Amino acid sequence: MKNCALLLVDVQNDFCPGGSLAVTQGDAVIAPLNRLISFFTEHQHPVFASRDWHPQNTTHFASSGGSWPEHCVQGTRGAAFHPQLSVTKEVQVLSKGQGEREDAYSAFDARDDGGELLGQRLEKEGVTHLYIGGLATDYCVKATVLDALKAGLAVTVIEDAIAAVEVQKGDGARAMEEMQRAGANFTRSQDIGTPP
Ligand code: VGL
Ligand code: ZN
């Protein structure tokens, strides 16, 4: 587990049941992710969380010609992390999609409060292997996984800690295939940190 980090992608109210862009069973990712936050933290591995953090007016939203209903508008309840997610002080939060002409599906477009990109933070911490879970499998998780692989990182997707939007039925399964073809590995949360 040396040089490993955990990345939680967009576990925000708007992507969970009741939210404006709800993913079916989006909140089912929370229990496995909370266990992993504890495990990684106890073993001194870094934990990062990205959040979709849009302005009120953005070409990302259908109201301005984009694809999506309004979601994760900066400072709103919908943009907050799900209240059950253990965003402890060890979790490093990065925000993406603040531009008015920016989709920013990938967490590699996310920056911390000091303006540093996720990739820079990972490099500084010597991370070479990223464990990834969160929302949504067919958009932000997929884009993040593909960018991580492009950056030369080993990637393990936690398959019980992701859920898909499924604009088209089967998008989730297709995204899994695409991530696998690109070189991602898959595991289940209970198999992390336990000997085989
Ligand atoms: C996402 C659609 C629009 C995601 C973000 O987090 O997967 N999907 N914005
Ligand atoms: Zn978005």
111-150 per-position pLDDT tens digit: 999 999 999 999 999 999 999 999 999 999 999 999 999 9
Give the pLDDT score at 1.
85
Distance 140 CA to ligand 1 centre (A): 5
Give the pLDDT score at 193.
83
Q: What is the C-alpha to C-alpha distance for residues 67 and 59, in angstroms, rounded to an integer?
A: 8
For range 169-173, the mean pLDDT: 98
Q: Which residue from 7, 8, 9, 10 has its CB within 8 A of the most atoms of ligand 1, so it is best to mutate?
A: 10
Give the pLDDT score at 134.
98
The domain spans of the chain are 4-191
CATH of the structural domain 4-191, one choice from 3.50.50.60, 3.65.10.10, 3.40.50.850, 3.40.1260.10: 3.40.50.850
Q: Which residue from 9, 81, 165, 166 has its CB within 8 A of the most atoms of ligand 1, so it is best to mutate?
A: 165
Distance 195 CA to ligand 1 centre (A): 34
194 pLDDT higher than 80: no
For range 41-62, the mean pLDDT: 98
Q: Which residues contact 142 (CB under 8 A, 6 or more apart)?
A: 105, 175, 178, 179
Q: What is the C-alpha to C-alpha distance for residues 77 and 46, in angstroms, rounded to an integer?
A: 26
Give the pLDDT score at 149.
98
77-104 per-position pLDDT tens digit: 999 999 999 999 999 999 999 999 999 9
42 Rama sector, left if φ>0, alpha if ψ -120 to 50, beta otherwise: alpha
Average pLDDT, the chain: 97
* Structure tokens, 179: 């991530």
195 pLDDT higher than 90: no
2 pLDDT higher than 90: no
183 Rama sector, left if φ>0, alpha if ψ -120 to 50, beta otherwise: left
pTM given for the model? 0.97
| The Cα angle at residue 12 between residues 113 and 9, in degrees rounded to 5 | 70
The amino acid at 54: H
For range 55-64, the mean pLDDT: 98
For range 59-76, the mean pLDDT: 97
